[in-house]
Structure 1
Amino acid sequence: MKKVISASRRTDLVAFFPDWVEKVLKVREARVWGPSSHVYKVSLEPDKVHTIVLWSKDFSNILQNKYNLFSLFREYDQLYCHFTITGLGATVVEPHVIPPHKALEQLEPLAEWVQSPQRISLRFDPIVFWKEGSQLKTNLYYFEKIAPYLQKLGVKSVKFSFVQWYQKARRRAAKRGFCFFDPPPEKKIEAAQYLMEVARQFSLELTACCQPLIVESLPIKPAACIDGAFLEKIHPQKLPVSKKKDRTQRQHCHCTDSVDIGSYIQHCPHACVYCYANPLE
């Protein structure tokens, strides 16, 4: 059975490591430094790959065919893109992420590249609340600006989560003169209800990524960011793929099996203050 390749949960390969991606696609193999510090090989022969799932906050390297990526990826049967747009790009929270209006401009050509808006999922992830002085700020309401773009293009899938606070992220924020605020459960439920209403208004399919509180409190389904059944359904040849739960992910993750080709040693320069993989204190 062909495999699903994830590129990548661990770092933004598309935005920052296009030369490495070009190399591994050309040689049809990736050598990956895994989380437990062991190196493993992953075949990238097209006849062994069911779908390549791409995760990024900036797909411009592909869309501009830098390093021949536009063409190299098209040698595979199916491409699926997780496009993260939080509305926080170029702010103190996501200092090196492209501004959200620039990201939104990529949606239409990206849908054409993957040959169907069904092969794009918008990640409104994470939702962040923070304080600058006495002022409480959030990106929650930026969803109203994203939703019309998605409806116009036929992109229906939206996945969201609330930020998970790590101590090193709190320290980073303090050094930058602000502090994160973690809303109580009832406020998170209210926020999710707002997302539900906007999603309903624009005919979007909203799911929650690793958010048991939300799934248990509201009629919102848990997200499977890599969903073998769905990838099989939209595959050009409807080829079968594993639907087993990925046991390497978090407790409440509903993803199915995939092989990730990114490494945490490929440090992501987006420098998002909240990110657990950000090595900067």
Structure 2
Amino acid sequence: MAAIIISASRRTDIPAFYSRWFINRIREGYCTVVNPFNRRQVTRVSLLPADVDLIVFWTKNAGPLIQHLQELDAGGFKYYFQYTVNGYPSPLEPYVPPLDTAIETFSRLAAEIGPDKVIWRYDPIVISNITGFDYHLQQFEKIARSLRGKTHRVVVSIVDDYRKSAHELEKLKNQDVLIAKEVNLQEIGNLMSSLSKFAEKNEMGIFSCAETVPLESYGISPGKCIDEQYIRQVLGLDIKKLKDKSQRPACGCILSKDIGVYDTCLYGCVYCYAGTLKSGLRNRQQHAADSPALIGW
């Protein structure tokens, strides 16, 4: 069997909400994953060290997983984190840990595994009447200053329109929150130029994620969240450059196997493409930490 990269997960926050299930699956050596587009198709995914090149974690709160990292190290697993810290107001991120808590947990993780293996994500950038351009300038600079020396890489992207999030964003009007339908490209350019300078000042390389708007002129290079060059430099792994065709055309990531499930996150972020809080709470009732599958059996 060819070794694979495990994505844990673009579809939900496994470290925050399902770390016990994840470590149980590591101990058992496999999990099962339902195809989100064909629920009759179930795949058994090996989680044996010999079959896994690398694990990429995606999270807004790594706290529950930190206690299990020594077990992953002892098993010979290599991994790194894509760690989102936005600190948005509660109408946008109602159940995400407070900014000070998020920075403290991020810092603790970086101290545990090293700053090279924790990538800060300031995304998506949502322009609204409560998160305008000045807001993002101040927020990004504040977080970058707090995370200086705790990461060497930051990823940014502008929020996209997703079918799953459109209704939730529309409901924000009930809280007098108005999302910008169109953004001024000159203002976006000024923002990105400033973010690039803040990143450089705090010793971070800055990259974009699946952006169709070219940002190179502002000092932001097109990035890959699962990047074969980064993996080679940081983890010493020589991974084949096979584009993940299941991702958006603008995504440059190489191939990985996602073991998460949509509609299982419990943060309730209104801009999220992966599901709503209502669906997450409903599906959570079908979760069992000792099941091979994240949801159901």
TM category, shorter: 0.7 to 0.9
1:190-269 equivalences under 5 Å are 190-215=190-215, 217-235=217-235, 238-265=236-263, 267-269=264-266
Alpha-carbon separation, structure 1, partners of 2:251 and 2:16: 25
Aligned to 1:4: 5
Deviation per CA, 1:172-225, whole angstroms, max 9, x where unpaired?
A: 322443221142222211111110111122221000112231336534211100
Aligned residue in 2 for 1:185: 185
Runs of 4+ in structure 1 deviating by more than 6 angstroms, as ranges, are none
Partner letter of residue 211 of structure 1?
E
1:102 aligns with 2:101: yes
RMSD over equivalenced CA pairs, Å: 2.1
Q: Which amino acid aligns with 1:59?
A: A
**CA distance in structure 1 between the aligned counterparts of 2:172 and 2:210, rounded to whole angstroms:** 24
In the alignment, is the contact (CA less than 8 A) between 2:9 and 2:58 conserved in 1?
yes
Residues 265 and 277 in structure 2, CA contact (< 8 A), matched pair in contact too: no
Cα distance between partner residues in 1 of 2:179 and 2:69 = 38
Q: Is 2:50 the counterpart of 1:53?
A: no
- Aligned twin of 2:149: 152
Alignment of 1:159-174 (within 5 A): 159-166=155-162, 167-174=166-173
Paired letter, 2:149? K
Gaps of 5+ in 1: none
Q: Which moved more, 1:167-176 or 1:249-258?
A: 167-176
Which deviates more from structure 2 when the two are superposed, residues 204-213 or residues 166-175?
A: 166-175
Distance in 2 (CA, whole Å) between partners of 1:254 and 1:177 is 37
2:244–2:253 contact (8 Å) kept in structure 1: yes
Residue of structure 2 in register with 1:18 after alignment: 19
8 Å contact 1:128–1:138 — kept in the other structure?
Answer: no
- The residue type paired with residue 272 of structure 1 is C
One-letter amino acid of the structure 2 residue matched with residue 32 of structure 1? V
For 2:129, which of 128, 131, 134 is the aligned residue? 131
CA distance in 1, matches of 2:92, 2:136: 10
Greater shift in the superposed pair: 70-79 or 180-189: 70-79
- Secondary structure (helix, strand or coil) at the match of 1:160 reads strand
Aligned residue runs from structure 1 range 62-101, under 5 A: 62-63=65-66, 65=67, 69-74=68-73, 75-88=75-88, 91-101=90-100
> 1:259: how far off?
0.9
| Distance in structure 1 (CA, Å) of the matches to 2:95 and 2:145 | 25
Measured after TM superposition, the shift of residue 120 of structure 1 is 1.0
Distance 1:111 1:216 in 2: 28
For each residue in 1:61-93, what CA deviation from the matched residue of structure 2 results, as whole angstroms up to 9, or x when unmatched?
023x2xxx33433224311011100121x6211
Structure 2 unmatched runs, 5+: 279-297
Query: Quick one: distance in 2 between partners of 1:243 and 1:113?
Result: 29
Q: Distance in 2 between matches of 1:178 and 1:71?
A: 43
The one-letter code of the counterpart of 1:143 is F
Give the Cα separation in 1 of the matches to 2:230 and 2:183. 33
Matching residue's letter, 2:141: E
Q: TM-score, normalised by structure 2?
A: 0.83
What is the identity, as a one-letter code, of the residue corresponding to 2:122? F
Amino acid at match of 2:20: D
The one-letter amino acid paired with 1:189 is: G
Q: 2-side partners of 1:157 and 1:178: how far apart?
A: 31
The one-letter amino acid paired with 1:91 is S
How far residue 33 of structure 1 moved from its aligned partner, in angstroms, is 1.8
The structural deviation recorded for 1:229 is 2.5
TM norm structure 1: 0.88
Counterparts of 1:26 and 1:140, CA distance in 2: 44
Specify the SS of the correspondent of 1:212: coil
1:14 is paired with a residue of what secondary structure?
helix
